[in-house]
Amino acid sequence: MARKIADWINRLGQIWVEGQITQISMRPGAQTAFLTLRDPSADVSLTLTCASSLLRKMDPPLTDGSRVVVHGKPTFFVGRGTLSLRVDEIRAVGIGELLARIERLRQLLKAEGLFDPARKRPLPFLPNRVGLITGRASAAEHDVLTNAQLRWPNVQFEVRNVAVQGTSAVPQILPALEELDRMPEVDVIVLARGGGSVEDLLPFSDEALCRAVAACTTPVVSAIGHEPDSPLLDHVADVRCSTPTGAGKRVVPDVAEETQRIGQLRDRARRALHGWVDRERRLLDQLRSRPALADPHKPLQQRAEQVAQLRDRSRRAMSAVLTAEGHALSATRSRLTTLGPAATLARGYAIVQRIEDTDEVDGVLRSVDDAPAGTRLRVRVADGAIQAVVPD
């Protein structure tokens, strides 16, 4: 079986493989050097063999953690049953190429919406427990813990110490992140690391780590490097802090500031309440000072006086009208008495005229000559004509 595997692998062509050097073994005077190439994103490694002269010609020399691209042919050793890569060319991955790869990944994640501000969640005002993923006994851990406890002494941390650079960083960070995300008492997770070169911060631009942070249900704070550093994790995380110190100040409120703010709010509430009470008291004083409330009977008395005056004016006006009408009636009565036949007849004579519709006088009937003075006459009129004048 081993020979069949070796025959099949020997038929494979030469390939290019990219990875990170984790171990270099080159004995003095030996013609062959052994290296271990590791995938930074997965727990996979491969043994490399190459001529020692190939390593000696590298400028700068290869060291553990160097990113390289190697060209070689896979080889299966039947005796040991191991697979290795016989390398004939090694190229160091430069900063420019790393930045270009990070930029391509940045565009990919941005197109998928992982950088969208709408998906970022706000941090809790006062978290119950803070999850911290950082290096063991690192300055970043000290900065986060110290600054957070200075601001809020009762803050509780759930710390997970992992590798924060090199090939083992991502494989250790991912399980720690998943564990803290499953804990219900952890309200926020902080990923913290101090500054470093692009190669040192490369794990925090890893695609698997960025997608894991985007999938977290707990808000994540990125505190990687210093202000100029900007790994892809800063864009995926819910909150980005320029330094671990800033993260310690961001995740918890300042107890002194909050106490001062509470005092200021209490003072504002007291002033507002006093102002409202004073304003309402002035309003009540103004209302009480109004005549209607100062002497409630006075308006009634004034209205009563006005009613009495109006009643007197009405009485006087009515009396004047009645008097004038009475005078007019008396005058009319006098005129009627003067012009009426009774007065004429009382004087001892009467003039009776018949007036047609044409208002022309047809004739005059005078009193009987032999009738004594003072004799009352009866005039009988029938069908519009005088029939007889006889003494009454």
Our CA angle for 385, 388, 391, nearest 5°, is: 140
Q: Which SS3 state, helix, strand or coil, does residue 130 take? A: strand
Length of the chain: 392
CATH code, residues 99-253: 3.40.50.261
Residue appearing with tokens 């009467």: 350
Euclidean distance between CA atoms 54 and 72, whole angstroms? 13
- Residue 125: which of 219, 215, 191 has the closest Cα? 219
For residue 82, list its beta bridge partners.
77
**Domain extent listing, the chain:** 1-93, 99-253, 254-289, 343-390
Query: Tokens standing for 88?
Result: 């004939």
Strand duo 67-77 + 82-92: pairing: antiparallel
CATH 3.30.830.10 fits 1-93, yes or no: no
Per-residue pLDDT of the chain (392 residues; tens, 9 = 90+): 999 998 898 888 888 888 888 888 888 888 899 999 988 777 788 999 999 888 888 877 888 878 888 899 999 888 888 889 999 988 877 766 677 778 888 999 999 999 999 999 999 999 999 999 999 888 999 999 999 999 999 899 999 999 998 878 899 999 999 999 999 999 999 999 988 777 788 889 999 999 999 999 999 999 998 777 788 999 999 999 989 999 999 999 999 888 999 999 999 999 999 999 999 999 988 888 887 777 778 878 888 999 999 999 999 999 999 999 999 999 988 888 777 766 666 665 555 555 555 444 444 444 444 455 555 555 555 555 544 555 55
Q: What is the pLDDT of residue 102?
A: 84
- Residue 243: which of 318, 191, 313 has the closest Cα? 191
Euclidean distance between CA atoms 214 and 9, whole angstroms? 40
User: Does the predicted model carry a pTM greater than 0.85?
Assistant: no
Residue appearing with tokens 């894991």: 212
Euclidean distance between CA atoms 104 and 256, whole angstroms? 45
Q: Which residues are CB-neighbours of 134 under 8 A, at least 6 positions away? A: 140, 141, 144, 159, 160, 161, 162, 164, 190, 191, 192, 193, 244
Q: Which residues are CB-neighbours of 176 under 8 A, at least 6 positions away? A: 133, 160, 162
Our CA angle for 365, 369, 375, nearest 5°, is: 90
Backbone angles phi, psi at 78, to 5 degrees: -65, -40
Q: Are 132 and 233 in contact (CB under 8 A)?
A: no
Q: Are 241 and 221 in contact (CB under 8 A)?
A: yes
First-to-last alpha carbon distance for the chain, in angstroms, is 178
Q: What is the pLDDT of residue 230?
A: 81
